[in-house]
Structure 1
Amino acid sequence: MTETSTVTPTELLDGSLTTPVGSPRYEGANIRTWIGFKHFMYLTEEAILEYFRERGAGAERLYHTYGLGLEIVDHSVSLPATLGVDDKVTATVEPGTPKPGHGAPFKVRLTVERDGATVTVLTGKVRVALVVLKDAPGDVRPVPAFLEPYTVPEVAALADAAGADADGPAGAEVAAGEVPGLLAPAGSNAFLWSWRIPYFYCHFSDRLQHSGYVRAMEEVVDRFLADRGISIRTMLVERGWIPVVSRARVRLLADAFMEETLHTVFTVQEIVKDVMYTATFDTYVHRDGRLVHTATGTIMHGYAVSRGENAGSLAEFDATTRAALLGAGR
């Protein structure tokens, strides 16, 4: 089934796909020639897009024919090996068993050929929803039956989006000036970064897309570490520590729109065996006097030693690093 086919398939999740997805973008080679976690997730996104294209339901066709926006709404990855800027990556996409109202689930594996062996560099899970666009161009056709189970009127209509804030601040009536104190209370370990959503983080002329949230996750980590006095450059220069990410997840809960202010909260939760830390990522917009929780996520982060007799091993956090990450004395 190709994108130009006139045949309408009867089932979206009808089999697996193995496809080359090329090399990571040069932009991702920030530390030596290793690729950062964001670009692993970009390659996974490319594999998912190709899966839909192969079934005659590519993002462009969905938009122009049915008025639907292909949206990655949940994306979790584990990164068991490094990825280099010149690696050629192959993706395998396996559909899962869908649940009503949750979108279309997939498992994804990225591999490279290295020293005569196939090496897995990523395993992940992705869910896709087809979101009805309010301003779709032209006359759109009715959504075909094979796509209906994965179609929602908005991201917030997903079954697992409701109730995500049972104990959180979303939904509370709050003045704009009260937002910082509510999201990052004094004495907490929460770090708040508020920023205007630019058009180039959005798609369908309207809302922040999944990859925009992945960018935000990467940047809020960078800002948090600098705020705590252990910036990426500081650790590179003074200790030869290279940042590494072993796991990451971003899940969408509601739409955030172009040029809204996205309040991004990053909170380190715990230190694992003094070599990794886990943290949460949550984003909100202040809309109509209320906070709307638009995304949530997690990340597991640490450092690798780049020089000396311990090069290649995970760096062990000292007391200064632990205190900075956990906000001791703040």
Structure 2
Amino acid sequence: MTALHETTALRCRPRFEGANIRTWIGFKHFLYLVEEGVLGWFRERGFGPQELYHRYGLGVEIVDCSAQLPAVLEVDDEVRAEVEHTGGRRFAVRLVAVRDGGETLVLKAKVTVALVSERDSEPVPDPIAGFVADTVSAVTAPLHRDCDGDPVELLSDGGRFVWAWRARYFHCHYADRVQHSGYVRALEEVVDRFLADRGVSVGTLMRERSWIPVVSRARVRLVEPALMEETVYTTFEVGDILRDTLFDGRMDCYVLRGNELVQTATASIVHGYAIGAGERAGALAELDDAVVAALTGANR
């Protein structure tokens, strides 16, 4: 069995599904590759998710992933995922694209992983005992909000965009709760819905300005389990406009239990646009007053 402190390097490729604009890969699939790298680290040490679940009654759960995306990733790139255990439940992950005889760093991430107790089974081996947690909320602290009326009305206070979705089985794992990648998908979708609601949809800006969406940072953190078939109330709002070229957005997710909204996840994203045509093709677009007003709600 490979030692816990040693780094694992896994060869992989992005999925074709992620090439939504030209042949560039979207941020969601960067985070999917991070997940594959982390699972490869456990597998190399004899603790793949199947072994952990059936033999030790443990479910692998990414509870936090914070990533920087310094360069684009292309659909045909071969990627080396370098995963280092940095102590406790924490990992450092690097994704390096191998292209044209050289290497390009396309992601740096910090990841927290918990092995959640699912059922009674064999005693947990010492090398992985430090990863074990009773629940996701044993790793992070949930936020509770009183709610005696309509959750959407309460959460939309202050101009937040709210989207409610049902936690269907394909968002979940272990026949129980929404997994980390389910919230990554939710972050992608709530941003898309928010932009359309504000009149600056991805398609509109591409058609009218040749602006292509880019993401330079993203973080998704689980707080409390959202259970299969619960309704997840998801908010999104823009905080700061950064250097007139990027906006900082925040997502929060809640479920209603009794008269309380319980936070289940939180996320942040730094988003901008690359110019897709003309002399400045490839440069970051400057967010003009009309776009800033739409993003911040000043025109509502």
Q: TM-score, normalised by structure 2?
A: 0.97
Cα distance between partner residues in 1 of 2:239 and 2:245: 14
Alignment counterpart, residue 173 of structure 2, candidates 203, 207, 212? 203
What's the CA shift for 1:97? 2.4
State whether structure 2 residue 182 is matched by structure 1 residue 212.
yes
5 Å-filtered alignment, 1:254-273, equals 254-273=224-243
Contact kept, 8 Å, 2:5 with 2:86, in 1: the verdict is no
Q: Which residue of 2 aligns with 1:157?
A: 138
Cα distance between partner residues in 2 of 1:36 and 1:209: 19
Cα distance between partner residues in 2 of 1:315 and 1:199: 39
Query: Aligned AA for 2:227?
Result: F
Q: Which residue of 2 aligns with 1:87?
A: 77
Q: How many residues align?
A: 300
SS of the aligned residue for 1:81 comes to coil
Q: Which residue of 2 aligns with 1:57?
A: 47
Contact kept, 8 Å, 2:15 with 2:75, in 1: the verdict is yes
Cα distance between partner residues in 1 of 2:246 and 2:166: 31
What's the CA shift for 1:239? 0.5
Q: Deviations over 1:231-287 (max 9, x none)?
A: 000001010000000000001111001110001111100100110000111100001
Cα distance between partner residues in 2 of 1:115 and 1:14: 32
Query: Aligned AA for 2:101?
Result: G
What's the CA shift for 1:51? 0.2
Alignment counterpart, residue 174 of structure 1, candidates 141, 144, 147? 147
Alignment counterpart, residue 318 of structure 1, candidates 264, 282, 288? 288
Cα distance between partner residues in 2 of 1:184 and 1:279: 15
Contact kept, 8 Å, 2:5 with 2:84, in 1: the verdict is no
Greater share of strand: 2
Query: Aligned AA for 1:173?
Result: D
Q: Which residue of 2 aligns with 1:329?
A: 299
Q: Which residue of 2 aligns with 1:141?
A: 122
Query: Aligned AA for 2:133?
Result: V
Contact kept, 8 Å, 2:68 with 2:217, in 1: the verdict is yes
State whether structure 2 residue 66 is matched by structure 1 residue 76.
yes
Cα distance between partner residues in 2 of 1:147 and 1:124: 21
Q: Which residue of 2 aligns with 1:4?
A: none
What's the CA shift for 1:127? 0.7
Cα distance between partner residues in 2 of 1:229 and 1:325: 9
Q: Deviations over 1:153-199 (max 9, x none)?
A: 111111xx22x64xxxx2x3323x431222110xx231110110111
Contact kept, 8 Å, 2:78 with 2:99, in 1: the verdict is no
Q: Which residue of 2 aligns with 1:295?
A: 265
State whether structure 2 residue 156 is matched by structure 1 residue 184.
yes
State whether structure 2 residue 91 is matched by structure 1 residue 106.
yes
SS of the aligned residue for 1:307 comes to coil
Q: CA RMSD in A?
A: 1.3
What's the CA shift for 1:19? 1.7
Alignment counterpart, residue 250 of structure 2, candidates 266, 271, 280? 280
SS of the aligned residue for 2:150 comes to helix
What's the CA shift for 1:15? 1.2
Cα distance between partner residues in 1 of 2:263 and 2:146: 13
Q: Which residue of 1 aligns with 2:57?
A: 67
SS of the aligned residue for 2:87 comes to coil
What's the CA shift for 1:115? 2.9
Cα distance between partner residues in 2 of 1:92 and 1:273: 32
Alignment counterpart, residue 31 of structure 2, candidates 37, 41, 63? 41
Query: Aligned AA for 1:115?
Result: D
Gaps of 5+ in 2: none
SS of the aligned residue for 2:207 comes to helix
What's the CA shift for 1:94? 1.0
